[in-house]
Amino acid sequence: MPEARGVSRRVSADLPVAVGAALAFVAYVWVLVHATVPLVTVFGFASDGRPKLYAAFLAGLAGLPGLLLTLPRAFTPPPSAVQPSVRSRRQASALRRSYLRTDVLGLAALLLAQVPLPAPWGPAGKAATIANITKSPEIVELSATFANYSIAVFAIGILGAVVAKVYGHAAALRVLAIILVVGAPVVAWLLVVRAVS
């Protein structure tokens, strides 16, 4: 009976958190749907209409999810061979490494990175929005091209996080994970700039 009470109390405590998280996610998606114009305007203003600089902003935004997913895992030291004895629930939770905060931020950044990019399967509408704001055919072409490369950047970011997590005991592979997530957006930027110029 005491165990059943403890489980029901835990479920009732977790329910408001789950509902709040779902509402926050829906609100964030609604914001993202309406964020194309402001974000493209900011990028266009910050780049002063220069396609290479605009592409650099896109590359930075596309690389951010991979960094948020990978760096906390890569910089966490591997667990020690001798585990200390745990006496309380608080000590147990302190020993358990959680990347929930940075993973949520990484997911938010992954969704945000879609905002200034035309979707590869239906680019016309967003491309017209980008053209109206930036008044630059080069930036429109560059955005459409980068949308294809961004998929590879996102995938490499997830791969880097997996490598850093699974091979956290090997320093060389943790460094490789960092190189992957930092290098992928840079390579994408170079390829896009070469394709457009």
In three state form, how does the secondary structure of 155-167 look? HHHHHHHHHHHHC
Across 41-69, average pLDDT: 95
Instruction: Determine the pLDDT at residue 132.
Output: 92
Q: Is 169 exposed, middle or buried (0-12, 13-18, 19+ CB in 10 A)?
A: exposed
Start-to-end CA distance of the chain, whole Å, equals: 71
Contact 110, 65 (CB under 8 A): yes
Q: What share of the chain is helix, strand, coil (3-state, %, to 5)?
A: 80, 0, 20
The pTM (predicted TM-score) of the whole model is: 0.82
Q: Which two tokens stand for residue 32?
A: 């993202």
For the chain, the structural domain boundaries read 1-34, 36-78+86-196
Q: What is the mean pLDDT of the chain?
A: 85
| Phi, psi dihedrals of residue 75, rounded to the nearest 5° | -90, 0
Torsion (CA) 70, 75, 76, 80 in degrees, nearest 10: 130
Report how far residue 171's alpha carbon sits from residue 63's, in angstroms, rounded to the nearest whole number.
22
Instruction: Answer yes or no: is pLDDT of 174 > 80.
Output: yes
pLDDT at 84 over 60: no
Q: Any idea which of 14-18, 84-88, 176-180 has the lowest mean pLDDT?
A: 84-88
Distance CA 184, CA 153 (A): 6
* pLDDT > 90? residue 98: no
User: Quick one: average pLDDT of 146-168?
Assistant: 94
Q: For residues 126-154, give the mean pLDDT.
A: 92
Q: Which of 61-75, 92-106, 181-195 has the lowest mean pLDDT?
A: 92-106
Closest CA to 139 of 46, 20, 64, 69: 46
